[in-house]
Each structure stands twice: as structure tokens, then as C-alpha cells.
Amino acid sequence: MSHPLLNKDGGERHLLLGNEAIVRGALEAGVAFVSCYPGTPSSEVPDTFFRLSPDGDYTFEYSVNEKVALEVGGGAALAGAPTLVTMKHVGVNVAADPLMTLAYIGTPGGLVLLSADDPGCHSSQNEQDNRYYARIAGMPVFEPSSAQEAKDMTRDAFELSRRFEQPVMLRTTTRVAHLRGPVDFGPRPGALHGPDFTKNPGRFVPVPAVSRARHIALLENLTKIREAVESSPWNTVSGNGEVGVVASGMARAYVADVLDEERFSGRFRVLNLGLTYPLPEEKLANFLREVRRVLVVEEGEPLVEQALRAIAQERGIDVEIVGKGKHLTRLGEYCTRQVRLAVADFVGETDATASCPAPEKLPMRPPNLCAGCSHRALYYTIRQAYGDNAVYSSDIGCYTLGLLPPLSAADFLLCMGSSVSAGCGFAKAQDKPVVGFIGDSTFFHSGITGLVNAVYNRHDILLVILDNRTTAMTGHQPNPGVDTTIHGENPSKVDIETIVRGCGVEHIRRVSPYNFKKTMAAVEELKALPGVRVLIAEEPCVLFARRTLRKARPNVAYVAEQTEAVTRCLTELACPAFRKDGDEVAISEHQCAGCMFCMQICPDIKARKRSQS
């Protein structure tokens, strides 16, 4: 039975995640090609396309990184295929190189870039505002604030891209990506194609003479798009009064909630911006002329606020503009209470609405590796060999969760793939040994180039590739090295050890981190060697093994005798399956994954069959 998202008839209403609504919007736009690199909060978009792909009429691929995803997608769009490329906000940093040139040469088939921003750093290393990228590249930007808008704006972003042959950014934030709401479906036409590619090196081969001309063409195109944006139904004015509010993106939903309250209802003239670049300057100027004061509400950087100040200054409009300040900062996600405080303050009132602070003395819940995660076993072994004498260069992935004591296996981290190259640089500048950690997906993403550089420049580093046979942190997406996906075996597996050897690394060891003695022996052997050495620690992610590989471990660990060794195991390994019952240590059968690593480092922990209850 076909999935509802693939239904061709419109008129249905479904309760969808914001990211699922984006999928439906792309399907209603006739998307023919989808590429991505998974990253929270965008991951459900490509994951949904992947799940539907056996029944879909589009081409889908998980690319090895965001740059490749955009290059593959760019090629498809040049060939005439309506194309969606998805990534999280920091992924656009990786894809920025082809992005800037794609904006110059254009995308005749239509290309929408989903940039899922993460204000508040819920799952990211920064909270950069990618509306800046849109301005650098010259890309129109849609910013939905509901599931319905996520669907409709995705469809309209494709229409705009195909009409002007320019890439368009769909910028979401974590809240939009993961909210759930009703979505009315329109008809789905099936994958579209064309126009067919017409050879035109004078446009599509950006040697300097072409690039200079294409930059002019881009700016001319933006002028036409700006004119179209003036009449866009996504930028609307409502309400009356001399006091105005301009809101964009997800903040529009918070503003709507606040101004719907009785104390504020009917007191404000509101300009809602859903298509936020290029800005509708005439509409904004007219709005500023009609009010005496304006409050600007936008998450992230003050881009709309700055534009309004420039418009007012250039056109001599006497209006007070209030934006970033005490309540509306450049930090984190906004919320209804925060916006209510800002609105009340803006009109000289106080907000007595009670806040809902978290109860005091709640137990801390630091980020933690899963019970039975093989990364924990590997970190334990590495620390037994090196302790605090080594410096640990970390990377993006589950293994970052080894940051806190007692594992303490992350001393610095820059970005995807940086553990190798940043670790090499660190090793050059001081005398301590450096151990770098990188996952299998991250190795394919951008670790390979760092390894090539390390070999070529004769750096001194032990690199540990934590190969858990999937892309675990973002939801078990496949990567080139996996054996199995939700659709079956991977017929085109790429072997990590062969790549490492091909990069020129001579000293390579391959172990299961669950095997303490063999892993320790391999670490000690590599520790004694100079130069670039690689340890491949291979063991499936414990959740992936259970859910997808259907591998269940029949035994669980239990404490046979309460001894100092058991307490030390709890303290040094810190597996979440362990707990304290008074003065005694116990192991939860429900949480124990059956890896039996603790049994190898503590003689007073034994194994028994998992109960059937």
C-alpha cells in the first residue's frame, strides 16, 4: 500500500511533522532528484525520502558530505531535474564552495536548498544564521512557521527557482522541523523533467570572463525576483494602529500567539515576512510610513532590523525601530513568553504572566553514551593506555559524548572531519602524544583528506576510526561502508581499511572494542610507533544492531560479589546500566546490552542468561 505522502490526489489532510511536510511539498512540486547529508534538525526529510524511495518516482541518495550532495544536486538541476538538497546549517559551510558558483550559473531545472538552522544549539556546535549565506550567494529565502507553510513554501520555492532558474533556500529552524500540525495536500504531479540541457559554456563554465558576466546576470535576476517578492502572498500586512510589529520566520508564530491575547488584541499593525530575501522594500517602506514605532521580532541575527533601519534612513522616514535588546537577543530560540515580555516592554507595560521555572534540585542529566555502546569500551581502553598523558582530538558524532569524566576523551573539536588535521597540527606544536577519534560516516565525509594530508606531511598521530556500521547520531542513515540498510544489504560497500591503506598508512590494526585484551594489545603496539597509525574499532551501534540487524545478545551481566573492583568498574566505566542500591552496585537487566565488556575488566561481574519476562 502506497504511503499517504505519495498520494497523487489533493484534498486530504494529514497530521505531519514539519520535516515530513517539506517532503510532501517537494513531491507536489514534482521533485525528481534528492540528495543530502543527514544532520539534525533536517534528518527526517531525507530519511522520509529514503523510506519512500522504493515506491517513489524520484532519485534519492545519501551523499558522503554536503559539498558532494550539492554538487550532485547541482548537476541534476542543470540537466533539468527539479532538485532538493538537504543539510543542517553547518553543512552549508561545507557546501559553500559549489553554492556560490551555482548561484552564478543558475539551475534551470530548479534547485531548493534546505538549510535547517539550530538556534539554541540543541544538537550543533554553533547557532549560525544561514540567512547570511543567502545574502552572500544571492538566493531567495523562504522561512516557514508551521507544518502547512513548510509544505506550501517548499512547493513555491521550487516554482520560484524554476521560474528564475536560480537556487532558492528553504530556511527552517529546529522548532519548525520538529513541530507537528495539520497539512492540507494539493495534487502531486509526479517527477517533472526539463528543460533539456542546452550546451552553453558561456554560461555554465565559469572561467573568469564568464563569471564576471554571470555576476551581472545574478544581480539582474535578483532585481526581478525582488519585484516579484513585493506582491508575494507570503508577506502580508494585517491590523491597524500607529504601533507596528515586523516578524519573520518562526518568530511569526510566537508574535501571533502574543497579539491574540486580549490585552494586546487589535492594538498593532503587523507585517509578517515569510519570503525574507530579497525583502519587499516598497512594502516595508510603506509600512514604516504608516506607523510611529516598530518592533522587529526575528530569531538569530538582526538582518531584517538592519534592513528596516537602512530603508528608513534612505527614504527619510521618521519612525522608531526597536529590535535586538534586553528580551530579544541574538542568542538561542525565542518563545512566546520571551516575545510577550518584549511586546509589553515595547508599549511601556509590564508583563505579570507567571513564568514556569524548572523545579530546583532536579538531578542533572548530562549527555551520555548508550549502555553497551562500543565507544565507551574503546575510550576506557585508550585511557588505560594513555590516561591524561595524551591529548584527545574529537570529531562530530556519538563519540563526542565521551567528553565528560570519567571517559574524558575529547580535548578539542572544530567541525566534521577535523579530528585528523586539527590533531596533526596540535601534535606539531607540543610534545604530548595525540589521539584522534573519528566515526565511519565522518571519515567518509571529510576525514579522508585529513588522513592524506597527515601521511604526506609526515604527521605524528594515532587515529582511531570508530566504525559502528552506520551513521548513528542522526538516526542510522547508511554510509558507503555499511553492510545493511533498512532496504537490505549494501551491494556497493566501500572498505575503510582499504582506503586507509591506499592513503599510505602502514601501521593499521583492526579490532572489536568489546574485546579488551586484543584492543589493549593493539593500542599499546601502535602507541610505541611514530608517524600516522590507524586503529579501526569495528562494532555495530548497539541500537542499530538491535533495531535493524535484529541481533540480540542472550546474556546480561550481573554483580556476583560486592567488591572494590565492582565499585571501580562503576566509577571508571560509568555504563548507564549500572546503578547504586544503597551501598551496593547493581546492573539493570533492562538496560544491559549484553556486551560483556565490564566482565572482562572486573572479575566479580558475571554473565547469566537474559530472563524471558
HEC letters along 152-201: HHHHHHHHHHHHHCCCEEEEEEHHHHHCEEEEECCCCCCCCCCCCCCCCH
**Which residues in 221-249 are b (16+ Cβ under 10 Å) and which e?**
bbeebbeebeebebbebeeeeebbbbbbb
Q: Write the DSSP assignment of 476-520 as a string of letters.
A: -B--TT-SEETTEE-TT---HHHHHHHTT--EEEEE-TT-HHHHH
* pLDDT value for 363: 81
pLDDT of residue 598: 97
- Cell for 394? 574529537
In the block, which residue shows the cell 593493539? 522
Q: Is there a cis peptide before residue 4, judged by omega within 30 degrees of 0?
A: no
Rounded Cα–Cα distance for residues 128 and 135 (Å): 14
Quickly list H helices, 291-409. Answer: 303-315, 336-346, 374-386
In angstroms, the CA 57 to CA 33 distance is: 9
- What values do phi and psi take at 555, rounded to 5? -105, 155
Q: What is the DSSP letter of 593?
A: -
Comparing C-alpha atoms, which of 136, 182, 257 is closest to residue 20?
Answer: 182
Q: Which three cell numbers stand for residue 303?
A: 538582518
Of 133, 134, 131, 154, nearest to 27 (Cα)?
A: 154
The fold of 4-231 is Rossmann fold (3.40.50)
Which residue bears the cell 518562526? 250
CB-neighbour burial class of residue 492 (10 A; exposed 0-12, middle 13-18, buried 19+): exposed
- What is the DSSP secondary-structure string of 27-88? HHTT--EEEE---TTTTHHHHHHHHHTTT-SSEEEE-SSHHHHHHHHHHHHHTT--EEEEEE
Write the class of the CATH domain 555-609.
alpha beta
Look up the CATH architecture of domain 235-347: 3-Layer(aba) Sandwich (3.40)
Q: Please count the CA atoms within 13 angstroms of the CA of 273 that sit on its side-chain side.
A: 29
Per the rule left: phi > 0, alpha: psi between -120 and 50, beta: everything else, 417 is left
Per-block mean pLDDT, blocks of 10 residues, the chain (613 long): 88 96 98 96 96 95 97 96 97 96 96 95 90 97 98 98 97 96 96 90 94 96 96 95 96 96 93 97 97 97 97 97 95 94 93 78 84 96 97 94 93 95 96 97 97 97 96 91 90 95 98 98 98 97 90 91 96 94 93 95 94 66
R_g of the chain, CA atoms, integer Å: 27
Q: Where in the chain is the domain with CATH 3.40.50.970?
A: 4-231, 374-548
pLDDT at position 462 is 98
Q: Residue 330: its pLDDT value, please?
A: 95
The topology under which CATH files domain 374-548 is Rossmann fold (3.40.50)
Whole-model pTM? 0.93
Residue spans in the chain of domains classed CATH 3.40.50.920: 235-347
- In the 8-state DSSP scheme, what is residue 610? P
- Type of residue numbered 16: L
**8 A C-beta contact, residue 333 and residue 249:** no
**Cα dihedral 207→208→214→219 (10° resolution):** 150
The pLDDT, as a whole number, for residue 613 is 54
The pLDDT assigned to 1 comes to 60
